[in-house]
Structure 1
């Protein structure tokens, strides 16, 4: 699947920091993970921390799928607001999902330190009302988050004008957020995992999966076999070959990175900023004071059509930023487009799927896929160990309505 094109900032910034071998022999292991991006790397990390041997296989060079195109905002907010998610998933599951995403940011920070990741920074987040008509829903959202104990404030137009110079009807200000670099974090995870006994192979395409009595058998395109007790599929949007076609809707998204500025912060605390409009606009800064702006999503998966729109989308994103911050120079240097997916309720799919025995899915669908991937790693690791995870039901396939 063609997942991105253009010049993703993370890939330009870090290049190919490490090389991984191609599988050229048969293997036997406890767990095999298909997918070497951020989801697969976090999954393998959870396994090696529990002393479980694992092998990671990726059809591409490691990290060159969706991971390299990620803009790497870490927020507990799900694409579906808490007030709407309560109606879709029920109050208990909605609040649990938001709480787990908030907790995952602290856990990701600890993981980043453990694996000596090049970059992880705690941030605050601002959720802007794009229009006056959005204000009642935003106020209801603030109250719902506040009621469940999330650390939030409501900012009125005066505060937004005084602190950020923004003209907006209101916003939710959250102290629970962070940003990282998903691509470099993925490589740091793999390097740590390798030292703990994991094996990582890229450019290794799994052509066939079969299920002998006590496990799984994977056959690569070059005829090598991997036997394992369990299989974890962490291939993100390329997982559709294993699942019902309607389980995720694929969309095109766009991003642009500016030239670097000599000094920062560029706006108040360089907080993460995103909006209520659909599709929403979002922006963040980088350690070298570049500005990354993303959004302008299109509801289709067509790589040719997606790529053709990139120049005009990049210009629109530049204009979007300049409307908010006319006093901050924004000269684009890199732009890229990628594929992402959304589910019926905005939540990922994690755990077992009836049609594939001995198999678990770790799928971080949605705008905050990194936090979802960390949650998936914990749940699936427990399930592989034979433990009942208390939150598995929130993200199970049982909720899918085909």
Structure 2
């Protein structure tokens, strides 16, 4: 299945940063990571640094799936409000989930600096706007809940918003723990660093047979090569659903555009990340080179052909909405594309194992927090393979 439309922005912008061969023969390893996007890159990097013999494979070229289409707004917020998540899973666990996402942004920043990909990461504040007057009370309670959990969240009144932005909204929450990322470049950089540390990376390698066992997992590729691994990590996004006994995700199509380079941003306070309480929500960011990225207009996923037919009309609506918000910003749309993502019932990722598949670990970072969830998954899976239980593992288990 095609995860993205034919012209994802990051792949066109960056090109093929590193090349890897397809699997040339049979291989054994401690851990096989299926998927070489940002999730697989973060997980394999952590495992290699822990001293494990790691093989990474992907049926596409490296980072050419969802990673190439991600708008990569890094936010600790889960798609489910903290106050709503508290009602679902209790105050303690809801706060732990939010704090885990909060801390993952620091983790990603540290990794980007360590592997020489500093340019891919940039701190920005985040503004979460009330889409309508009835959302103001929700934002007040949400801000109170976050502050009680130890998270900085400033409440802006309507007059303060008008002073900072070229538009008005009834209220907003401002967060300082947020960033923007070139996930495609960071994935390549992490995999390159992992390869230098001994990881073996193969792309354009498709698995046709999969046999889990109590001592090892055996996989066979479409070219007949056999991979034997002590453990397998699935970092293949919603495509992992094919291996699971029950459906855990609803698929959505999202649409995005990128402008030509812009030099002035009147009415856009600190070029902050922007999103809103409406569902589906509009989301905005800038890129390091001055481009503006706008996303949203999500719809249920049917198939790639229908999704791609909507790219022009959906991104035209995104462009119209942006011009209404920022009439003084002069820009021209350069790229338009679409992608597919998964959405869970509670906004939380699925990370861990299932009883039916011994020695298999899943890192399914669904929703708007895919990258931050992947950083959390890297820690949880590394601890599991070392025989230790991560204190947050229960938050993301399949049987929650």
TM-score (norm 2): 0.98
Determine the structure 2 residue equivalent to 1:398: 399
- Alpha-carbon contact 2:28-2:227 (below 8 Å) kept: yes
Question: 2:25 aligned with 1:25, yes or no?
Answer: yes
1:2, distance to aligned residue in structure 2 (A): 1.4
**Which whole-Å CA distance do the structure 2 matches of 1:213 and 1:156 have between them?**
58
- Label 1:142 to 1:212 Cα distance change in 2 as closer, same or farther (>3 A): closer
The residue that corresponds to 1:381 in the other structure is 382
1:262 offset after TM fit, Å? Answer: 3.0
Runs of 4+ in 1 over 2 A off after TM superposition: 262-266
Q: Is 1:250 aligned to 2:220, yes or no?
A: no
Residue deviations 1:306-357 (CA, integer Å, cap 9, x gap): 1111101111000111111111123211010010110111100001111101
Is the partner of 1:386 in helix, strand or coil?
coil
Task: Give the SS at the match of 2:22.
Answer: coil
Change (3 A) 1:256 1:245: farther
| Residues paired across the two proteins, number | 399
Pick closer, same or farther for the CA change 1:134–1:196 going to 2, 3 Å.
Answer: same
Alpha-carbon distance between aligned partners in 2 of 1:316 and 1:244, rounded to the nearest angstrom = 38
Residue 330 of structure 1: aligned partner: 331
Q: How does 1:361-376 map to 2 (within 5 A)?
A: 361-376=362-377
Tell whether the 8 Å contact from 1:56 to 1:201 is kept in structure 2 after alignment.
yes
User: Could you say which residue in structure 1 is the equivalent of 2:3?
Assistant: 3
Any idea what SS the aligned residue of 1:356 has?
coil
Distance 2:104 2:126 in 1: 16
For the 8 Å contact 2:164–2:267, the answer to whether it is kept is no
Alpha-carbon RMSD: 1.2
1:94 has 2:112 as partner: no
Q: Is the 8 A contact 2:213 2:359 kept in 1?
A: no
Separation in structure 2 between the aligned mates of residue 300 and residue 122 of structure 1, nearest angstrom: 32
Do residues 131 (structure 1) and 95 (structure 2) align? no
- Matching residue of 2:320: 319
Alpha-carbon distance, 1:11 to partner: 1.1
- Alignment correspondent of 1:346: 347
Q: Secondary structure at the match of 1:19?
A: coil
For 1:162-173, list aligned pairs within 5 A. Answer: 162-173=163-174
**Hey, what does 2:115 align to over in structure 1?**
115
SS of match in other structure, 2:308 = helix
| Structure 1 residue 50 displacement after superposition | 0.7
Where does the alignment leave 5 or more consecutive residues of structure 1 unmatched?
none
Contact 1:48 / 1:54 at 8 angstroms: preserved in 2?
yes
Q: Deviations over 1:184-239 (max 9, x none)?
A: 00000000000111111000001111134411111111011111111111100111
Q: Is the 8 A contact 2:259 2:332 kept in 1?
A: yes
Question: Matched residues in 2 for 1:120 and 1:111: separation?
Answer: 10
Please say which of residues 258-267 and 220-229 is displaced more in the overlay.
Answer: 258-267
Distance 2:266 2:178 in 1: 17
Q: What's the CA shift for 1:394?
A: 0.4
User: Do residues 58 (structure 1) and 95 (structure 2) align?
Assistant: no
Pairwise CA distance, 1:300: 2.6
SS of residue paired to 1:283: strand
CA contact (8 A) 1:157 1:168 kept: yes
Q: Is the 8 A contact 1:318 1:330 kept in 2?
A: no
Equivalent residue number for residue 281 of structure 1: 282
115-124 or 229-238: which moved more?
Answer: 115-124
Deviates more, 1:98-107 or 1:324-333: 324-333
Q: Note the 1:149-228 alignment, pairs <5 A.
A: 149-228=150-229
CA distance in 2, matches of 1:163, 1:23: 54
Quote the Cα distance in structure 2 between the aligned partners of 1:56 and 1:332.
36
Displacement of 1:240 in angstroms is: 1.0
Structure 1 distance, partners of 2:370, 2:24, is 32
Contact 2:213 2:358 in 1 (8 A): no
In structure 2, C-alpha distance between the alignment counterparts of 1:289 and 1:377, rounded to whole Å: 31
| Structure 2 CA distance for aligned equivalents of residues 178 and 372 of structure 1 | 15
Aligned to 1:290: 291
Separation in 2 of the partners of 1:30 and 1:263? 51
For 1:328 and 1:244, locate their aligned partners in 2 and report how far apart those are by CA, in whole Å: 49
